[in-house]
Amino acid sequence: MVQMLSVLSGPSRPLTYRDHQPTRLTPPVVFRPDMTRRKLWELSKSIHCSIIGTCLGASELRRIVAKATGEPQDRYSDHEIHKRGVSLASGQRSGARILHKALEARHASAIRQFDKAVTGDDIRRLWNEARAKGEIPGAYWAALTHPQTSEALAGEIFGDIHMLSHLVGSANRADIRRLAEIEAENARLTDKVHRQQTLLHARAVEHRRERDRLERLLADRLASGDHHVSNDISTPHGDMERVLARMQARLDREAAHRRKCERDRDALRAERDRAAADLRGAVARAEDLRAEVAALEAHMDAADSGETAPSLEGLGVLYVGGRSGGAHRLRHAAGQRGARLEHHDGGQQEASGLLPGLISRADVVFFPVDFVSHEAALWIKRQCKQAGKPYVPLSSAGLGCFMNALARLDPSRSASAGAEA
C-alpha cells in the first residue's frame, strides 16, 4: 500500500528517464540495461557523417583532428578534415573518445533539456521544438544519444537533417549556377573580342601594304612617263583608271567591313560590360550569403554553448514586412542579443496608421525588399527621414539576412549604426 501511494503521489521534482522504473502496474518500456546515453562509436556509422558535419564547427573539428592524430592539419581542406573526423568516430580509440567528449561539452545544455524526456514521443516533441527554433546541432546530438531513442525515431530525425541540408543547398545553388554561367559567358565574350580585334588589325595591315604597293607602282609609272599600266598590275585591261576604280571599290568595301566590325566590337564590349556587372552583382550576393551563413552559424554556436552575443541591450528594432508567421523567430533572435523587436506586416492585414507610432518608438527600422511592396518601402523611408530614424533595407526576408544586419549594428547605438544600406 505504501509503495502504491508513493507511485501515485510521485516525487517532488519532475520525472526523468533515470527516475522511471517499470512496474507491473504499467506496460513494459524498453530501456537500455544501464540507463546510460549512447556513445559516439555505438551509433551507426551511416550517421557519423551527419553528426560530425552538423554538431561540430569546422575550426573546432580541425583542432580535434590535430589533437587526435598528433600532426598539424592546416594544409588540409575543410572537406578532408571532415572525412578524417568521420573516420575517427567509427572506433573506440582515443580519437573517437576525444570527439565524444567535445560533443558532450559543446551541447551540454541540450543534453540537460533532453534528459527530461521519458518516452520516444517526448524526444520527438523536444526535437520538433528545437528544429522550429533553429537549435539544430545540440538537439540532434542529444536526441540520437538518448537511451530511449529507437532505431525508427533516429531514422526520422536523420531524415529531417537530410532534408534541411537540401533546403540550405537549394537556397544557394541558383546563385552559384548563375555565377558560373556569367563567368563562362564573360570568358567567351572576351575571347571573341580579342579574335575580332586581331582580325581587324591583320586586315588593316594588309590594306596598308596593298595601298603602299599600288602607290609606289603608280608613282614609278608616272615618273617614267608611262600613262598606261601593263599586265604587271594584275588587271586584264591594263587601264590605270580601272585599277584605281577597283582599288577604290575595294577600299570602300574594306572600310564598310571595318565599320561593321567596329560596331560588332562595340556591341561585344557592351555585352561584356553587362556580363561583368552581372558577375560583380553575383559575387556581391555570394559574399552577402556567406556573411548570412556566418551570422547564422555564430547565432547557433552561441545558443548551443550558452555564450553571450555582442550586446544590443535595450535597442528598439521595428521590422516591417516579411513572411507570414516568421516574426517569432526574428523576435527570438533579436532577444538573444538584448534587442527589443516589434513587427508590422506593412499594411497587408495590420493598419498602416500604426506605423508612425511604431517608428517613433524604434531606434532602427528594418524591411526586406523582397517581402514588402514598393509603395510601402518608399513610405517607410519617407516616414523614417521625417522622424530622424535610421532604416536598413534587407535583401531578403531570411533569418540569416536579419542576423547579419544585427551583427553589423554598432553596440553603442550611434546614428551611423543604422545608416541606410
What distance in Å separates the CA atoms of residue 89 and residue 129, rounded to the nearest whole number?
28
- 44 and 140 together in one domain: yes
How high is the pLDDT of residue 306? 65
- 375 and 271 together in one domain: no
Give the three-state DSSP class for 228.
coil
Considering 304, 338, 355, which residue would you say is the last residue of a domain? 304
- 320 and 295 together in one domain: no
- 322 and 413 together in one domain: yes
Decide: 187 and 276 in contact? Cβ < 8 Å.
no
What distance in Å separates the CA atoms of residue 411 and residue 97, rounded to the nearest whole number?
40
What distance in Å separates the CA atoms of residue 85 and residue 49, rounded to the nearest whole number?
8
Say which CATH number the domain at 331 has: 3.40.50.2300
Q: Which helix (H) or strand (E) holds 392?
A: strand 391-394
How high is the pLDDT of residue 392? 95
- Residue 157 in domain: no
Dmax (CA) of the chain: 144
- Residue 8 in domain: no
How high is the pLDDT of residue 144? 92
Considering 304, 336, 370, which residue would you say is the last residue of a domain? 304
- 127 and 216 together in one domain: no
Task: Please give the grid coordinates belonging to residue 343.
Answer: 513587427
- 143 and 180 together in one domain: no
- 230 and 323 together in one domain: no
413 closest CA partner among 327, 307, 339, 331? 339
Q: How many domains does the chain have?
A: 3
What distance in Å separates the CA atoms of residue 308 and residue 206, rounded to the nearest whole number?
74
- Residue 381 in domain: yes
- Residue 261 in domain: yes
- 53 and 180 together in one domain: no
Number of DSSP helices (H) and strands (E) in the chain, helices first: 14, 4
Decide: 304 and 138 in contact? Cβ < 8 Å.
yes
Q: Which helix (H) or strand (E) holds 318?
A: strand 316-320
- 117 and 218 together in one domain: no
Q: How many residues does the chain have?
A: 421
Question: Up-side HSE of residue 157: CA atoms within 13 Å toward CB?
Answer: 32
- Residue 362 in domain: yes
What distance in Å separates the CA atoms of residue 373 and residue 376, rounded to the nearest whole number?
5
Considering 130, 149, 168, which residue would you say is the last residue of a domain? 149
- 264 and 338 together in one domain: no
How high is the pLDDT of residue 367? 95
Q: Where does residue 394 rank: exposed (0-12), middle (13-18), buried (19+ CB within 10 A)?
A: buried
- Could you read off the pLDDT tens digit of each residue along the chain, which spans 421 residues? 333 333 333 333 444 434 444 333 333 333 444 568 888 888 888 888 889 888 988 888 888 888 888 887 778 888 888 888 888 887 767 888 888 899 999 899 999 999 999 998 999 999 999 888 888 898 999 999 999 988 899 888 888 887 876 666 555 556 656 766 777 787 788 888 888 888 888 888 888 888 888 878 877 777 776 555 444 444 444 456 777 777 788 888 888 888 888 898 899 899 899 988 888 888 888 887 887 787 777 777 676 666 665 678 889 999 999 887 888 889 988 888 889 999 998 888 888 888 899 999 999 999 999 888 888 899 999 999 999 999 999 988 888 899 889 888 855 443 333 334 3
- 324 and 264 together in one domain: no
- CB < 8 Å & 24+ apart, contacts of 226-230: none
Amino acid type, 218: L
Q: What residues make up the domain containing 213? A: 176-304
- Residue 293 in domain: yes
Amino acid type, 108: A
- Residue 5 in domain: no
- 278 and 320 together in one domain: no
- Residue 246 in domain: yes
DSSP assignment of 19-56? T----TTS------TT--PPPGGGS-GGGHHHHHHHHS
